Structure 1
Amino acid sequence: MTDPAATTRASRRARAGRTVTAVLEARHSGWTTPLLLWLASRIVSTVLLGSVYWLATANGWHFASYRRDPSFATFSGSWDASFYRTIAEHGYPRDLPTDGDGHVLPNPWAFLPLFPGVVRVLMALTGSSFWVAGLVVATLCGAGACVVLFRLVLAVADARRARWATAFFAFGATGFLLQVAYAESMFLVLLFGALLALVRRRYWLVAVLGVLAAAARPGVLALAVALAVHLVVREVAARRAGGGRPGGEPFRWRDRGAVVAAGLVVAAAGLAWPVVASAVTGRPDAYLETELSWWVGFVGRQHFAPLTPWFLMAGTWLGPAGIVLVVLVLAGAAWLSCRRGVRALGPDVLGFTVAYVAYLVAVFLPQQSLPRLLMPVAPLLAADTFTATRRRATGWLVVGVCLQAVAVVLLWFLGFP
């Protein structure tokens, strides 16, 4: 016989599921869906962060980042956030700090000015500390990043994939970074906005948001490459239109000029910070040497050569096996980019993500910051590899939440993200 209680519980769960689905598929789901996902993810991340903070404080455990004034706000502004605080309160140094041998030491020039500038304005308006203002700015930008990511995927796929991609992004292993005093969430909302503008062919807006993103964090050069890919794709489509072939579309010279101008502006913005650092400090290599100062603890002092950092890091720590591992990882990334579900997201998203990964391989020394730096490729989370079925998508979501818990523990006690 059927258990009435079990039937009632199943009916309630079904009604709850329909209610959630109805809310997420509401008419204004372009706002409500991502904001609800963001809110739920902030509850999860705050519980994880708060639990670690409470346990560590209650038991006198040492954090990876020292704080003179221990509180949950300063806990949420750990690691390199101290450099953003220095910039917000004192600006950038005119003289680079060096050790006894004249080598440049880690300093604020590795961090761009937009995030600490906005935080400084909020500090002045409210009288709050950097830690509180930084947390507020980062959290609001995190909400914006979820909204714009949802709309970006919605523009190239469908609402179901947009929901899952946003959920993976907000609940995933690095989801806690959407509410800590780092520039990540600010960079992401601007970058996703620029990509959305590119998909919608609002090239002047791509340029504006690209310039702002370039002032938040490095990596915007990949957007310039995406504009170049967009130009080629539209040119090919225009030639098809001229030949009367299917898939062709007109491409006005005014639009060609706008794409080229936006690409040049974004590229110039992406290359500007080393020039600024050089002009202020009087050292042509100020920015490069500052970045290399973070490499010392991993691979010793090195001269920079493009496309070598990943092999250098892997070879230093794992020997020949590390080189093989890097080759396999890059081969896996190439395989993923060729998958039909990834290609279905369109040339603008694919062009950017491939260019961004190539940028990381070319200039970045891979270490514990790599997951954080991979957050801009979040649109790829809409691919069938992750969203083909509800069971698969749910599995990936659970994995992401579990990895976030692991990341919070490891990064706060062993290293820096």
Structure 2
Amino acid sequence: MTSVAETTRSSRPLLRTLLTGRHSGWTAPLVIWLGSRIVSTALLVTMFVVATENGWDFASYRRDPSFATFSGSWDASFYRTIAEHGYPRTLPTDGDGNVLPNPWAFLPVFPALVRAVMAVTGGSFWVAGVVVATLAGAGACVLLYRLVLAVGCSHRARWATALFAFGPTGFLLQVAYAESTVLLLLFGGLLALVRRRYWLVAVLGTVAAFTKPGVLALAVALAVHLVVRWVAWVRAGRDAGGFPWRERVAIVGAGLVVAAAGLAWPVVAGAVTGRSDAYLATELSWWVGFVGRPHFTPMTPWFLMAGRWLGPIGIVLVVAVLAGAVWFFRRRDVRALGPEVVGFAGAYALYLVAVFLPQQSLPRLLMPMAPLLGSDVFVRTRRRAVTWLLVGVGLQPVAVVLLWFLGFP
């Protein structure tokens, strides 16, 4: 009879081959993804069983509190409304005329994909939503791996993917949210940019723009790429073969297309509802419970939130966080990830500071910056990488309880 130890020893060469072998560009990220899904599913199932057995209120009310509906809590209900009924032509308001939370805050690509799966399979939104999100999460892991591999090495690619998939918000890669779908598109767009497939960047960026906000960062990455190539071309003596016109036109064209797509949704919302500020008013309706109804001014939300809840100490804290971010982006090992990755991540961070009110949704909104996990800060040595991995796995059950059960992420 084969012992457990012998079985373990015999499986190690296979795992090593999957992670480092000839086809590891596919197998390594998929093995990492599969392992992370086992962990995340176990955590979500445990939470579901504990809540059910103890009669706890679920994160968001469901008439049929199954595991599938539990995996579609919070914002998933808005995606369900969009998938089944579309967008309202009139914004809901309270007695004072203030806009209430409504589906216009959520973009159409994810619910459209879910609706297509529902039509093909006959399944419910909750099951179809989990299927779409989980498959997109697998694709996101593959493209993140290949992106970091393209700008780094296999060591960095494997560990960045593992830290991403097993991290505190890793469970969101399989719930009925648009996160995994937009990550698939953004990582694919960055990889296409690194490989100089500019029109593919335009296509993926356009679809991403109608999946989640924040795609303007990809347009900035294109601009950074253009400047870097232009400077390199000038330093090389303006060799026409080094930077042909067709590539210059493709970069500029892709950037304009992505930028236009990134700015389109507020225009669409205004045209359909007849109210020019429909999207902004809808987004601000989620701020009420935190800071009331302030006038929106870019670059102030973090200071507004910190000052309201922590006073002067909060302002100092925000300044310290921003200073830490500047220090991080100036590190040589971070810049070594390439101008495209750093340009995108820096622009995306600036977008969050400019327009987002920092609250419990912040951890999931940081997920597009996952390529930075390939820097020395996280994976310089195996020991450091393992430490960060254990921290991520340890924080994931905390995040499941706090974000998925007690407060919406």
* Other-structure match for 1:172: 167
Does structure 1 residue 32 correspond to structure 2 residue 27? yes
Query: Which residue is equivalent to 1:289?
Result: 281
Alignment size in residue pairs:
407
Per the TM alignment, residue 249 of structure 1 is displaced from its structure 2 partner at its CA by: 7.9
Q: Which residue of 2 aligns with 1:4?
A: none
Q: CA deviation at 1:21?
A: 2.2
Structure 2: any 5+ residue segments left out of the alignment? none
Secondary structure of the equivalent of 1:403?
A: helix
2:317 aligned with 1:325, yes or no?
A: yes
* Shift in Å, 1:412: 2.8
Which 5+ residue runs of structure 1 have no aligned equivalent? 1-7
1:346 equivalent to 2:341? Answer no
How far apart, in 1, do the equivalents of 2:380 and 2:12 lie? 20
Q: Distance in 2 between matches of 1:68 and 1:110?
A: 25
2:404 pairs with 1:412:
yes
The CA distance in 2 between the partners of 1:16 and 1:282, in whole Å, is 62
Summarize deviations over 1:242-280 as a string: whole Å, max 9, x none.
Answer: 179xxx981111111110000000000000000000000
Give the match's secondary structure for 1:331: helix
The structural deviation recorded for 1:125 is: 1.2
Letter in 2 for 1:342: V
Whether the 8 Å contact between 1:299 and 1:312 is mirrored in structure 2 is yes
> Does residue 1:264 correspond to 2:256, yes or no?
yes
Matching residue of 1:22? 17
Q: What one-letter code is carried by the residue in structure 1 that aligns with 2:406?
A: L
5 Å matches for 1:8-407? 17-242=12-237, 250-407=242-399
**TM-score normalised by length of structure 2:** 0.97
- CA offset digits 1:56-92 (Å, max 9, x no partner): 0001011231111100000000001000000000000
AA at the equivalent of 1:139? T
Matched residue type, 1:335: W
Secondary structure, aligned partner of 2:263: helix
Deviation at 1:16, TM superposition (A): 5.1
Range 332-341 or range 140-149, more displaced: 332-341
Q: Sequence identity of aligned pairs in percent?
A: 75
How far is the alpha carbon of 1:9 from its aligned partner? 9.4
How far apart, CA to CA, are the structure 2 residues paired with 1:204 and 1:285? 32
Pairwise CA RMSD:
1.6
Partner of 1:5: none
Q: Would you say the 8 A contact 1:138–1:180 is kept in 2?
A: yes
- What's the offset of the Cα at 1:181? 0.2
Distance in 1 of aligned mates of 2:270 and 2:178: 22
- Give distance in 2, aligned partners of 1:220 and 1:413: 29
Counterparts of 1:254 and 1:36 in 2: how far apart (Å)? 39
* Secondary structure of 1:242's aligned partner: coil
Aligned counterparts of 2:270 and 2:30: Cα–Cα separation in 1: 41
C-alpha contact (below 8 Å) 2:18/2:31 kept by paired residues: no
Task: State the AA in 1 paired with 2:321.
Answer: V
Cα offsets for 1:163-213 (capped at 9, x unmatched): 000000100011001000000000000000000000000000000000000
Q: With structure 1 as the length reference, what TM-score do the two structures score? A: 0.95
| Aligned mates of 2:222, 2:297 — CA distance in 1 | 26
1:15, CA displacement in angstroms?
6.1
Deviation digits for residues 310-345 of structure 1 (CA, Å, limit 9, x no counterpart)? 000000000000000001111111111111111110
DSSP 3-state at the match of 1:122: helix
CA displacement 1:122-175 (0-9 Å, x = unmatched): 111111100000000000000000000001011000011100000001000110
Matched letter for residue 77 of structure 1: G
Q: Deviations over 1:19-63 (max 9, x none)?
A: 422321111111000001000000000000000000000010112
After superposition, the Cα gap between the structure-2 partners of 1:278 and 1:333, relative to the gap in structure 1 and judged at 3 Å, is same
